[in-house]
Amino acid sequence: MDILTLNEYLNRIVYGFPMKLVFLLVGAYLVIFQIRWFSAPFRMMRVSFSETFGAIRERAYGFGGQITPFQATMVALSATVGTGHLLGMLAAVLVGGPGAVFWMWVGYFFGTGSKFAEATLAVHYRRRFADGSVSGGPMYYLSRGLPRLRVLGFLFALFAAVAAFGIGNSVGGALTPLGVPPALVGLGLALLVGVVLGGGIMRVARFAQVVVPLKLLLFLVAVLPLLVLYGGGIPEALALVFQAAFTPEAALGGAAGYSLYAAINAGLGRGIFANEAGLGSAAIAHAQAQVDHPVRQGFWGVTEMFVSFLVTSLTALTFIASGLWRQGGSAAEAAQALFQAHPLGGAILAATVAVFALGTMVSWGFYGEEAAAYLLGEGVRWPYRLTFAVLASGPWGASRPSWPSPTPSTASWPSPTSWGLSFWGLWWPAWSTASSGGSLGCRPASGRAPGWPFPAPPPPCGPG
């Protein structure tokens, strides 16, 4: 069995329909019973935005960390908002029909619970060093928070360190249609990525502060003319999304064999992989924030979801309103057909995909470095940076058009995080008092003594 066959087999297991339901149920439990969005949804929305965009001008504060909460969110968004928000969204509609968009929205809503929990726990359980730097993420909150199941942290770090080499490396393939030699693109990328990663989290954060606004600007330039062109079909597209979400055969007349299962499967899959809620990767970035309370960074995680939601939704609605989804074909073919009507043609598509992939590549290089340092110690950072720059970004990496799932670890890294969040959600409502304005609640709400596999009650929150 070769590695691609093994990867396809693992993909069917880890990203199969049962595991997608696990991701959804974990997020739903956190949203309904722990964070309790439903108890005061408008108040929670107000608090979330006031703690994030309302405090965007505030400098770093609190204990630990080297970058501001806003910078940490930019690093996470740089990784999250990638080519999956464009080509991946088109693929979901082609496979599951317009109804897939509704189920993606469901995944986004309940995914806010997972993202909030990941960012909060990442700050609470991060490791601080003598020089003021920190390291955090699922590998730390799984091993420190669930010491009897510390193997989950090890597995996440192992999978993430390897998976980083295959995520976001479609820059060369995106620029090939413009006549740019992939080898030349690869050399430039290797130099750029190596310089950015060589500066540590401070330089990665400054890079993310530039590339994320550039991503959003390019996206608006790419999608707004199409929205104007197909704007008359948006109401019909919205109606079709809701109708096809439950009765696709009736709504679409049995077109292309769309079914309810295909809509749910494609929609949930796109929502999970696009926003990374439950995967745990964004928690590595959020752990770097200087905050006086872990819950503050949890709200930034929710804001990150909101930005991702807007990008994927605008992409999907534009595609459905154009009617091109009925023609079938691959996502790349559909994207080319969609942007034929754009004043800038395929050039704006290529530039947008390239910048989306570049930001993802840099942030994931940092994620992989943090995971490798957890496994092998701080001395592995520079060897990992150089290896990543050469293999993932250099001429050899850029010569491939894309690697959606290059290794078994790419498919497998979400599993330890989802299992760990399941245990946390069932035992420790650490974030349940956030909706009432209380503290993090760093001790169990109930007086019962936790048993295996849960740890002893953690110490109170705060520096240390």
Higher local confidence (pLDDT), 351 or 423: 351
Q: Which DSSP symbol is given to 328?
A: -
pLDDT confidence band for 434 (50 / 70 / 90): very low
**Residue 14 to residue 435: CA distance in whole angstroms:** 33
pLDDT confidence band for 231 (50 / 70 / 90): confident
Domain ranges of the chain: 8-34+65-434
pLDDT of residue 152: 86
Q: Is residue 200 helix, strand or coil?
A: helix
Tokens for 90? 């088109």
Higher local confidence (pLDDT), 316 or 148: 316
- Tell me the CA distances in angstroms from 28 to 25, 44, 83, 117, one per residue in order: 5, 16, 27, 12
* CATH number for the segment(s) 8-34+65-434: 1.20.1740.10
Mean pLDDT, residues 418-424 taken together: 55
Tell me if 408 sits within 8 A of 399, measured CB to CB.
Answer: no
Task: Give yes or no for residue 445 having a pLDDT over 50.
Answer: no
Q: Mind listing the pLDDT tens digit for each residue in 254-292? A: 555 567 888 888 888 887 778 887 788 899 999 999 888
pLDDT confidence band for 366 (50 / 70 / 90): very high
DSSP for 230-270, written as a single string: SGGGHHHHHHHHHHHHH-HHHHHTTGGG--HHHHHHHHHHH
Higher local confidence (pLDDT), 445 or 349: 349
pLDDT of residue 316: 94
Q: Is 277 exposed, middle or buried (0-12, 13-18, 19+ CB in 10 A)?
A: buried
Q: Mind listing the pLDDT tens digit for each residue in 318-365? A: 999 998 988 878 888 899 899 998 998 888 988 898 899 889 989 999
pLDDT of residue 53: 64
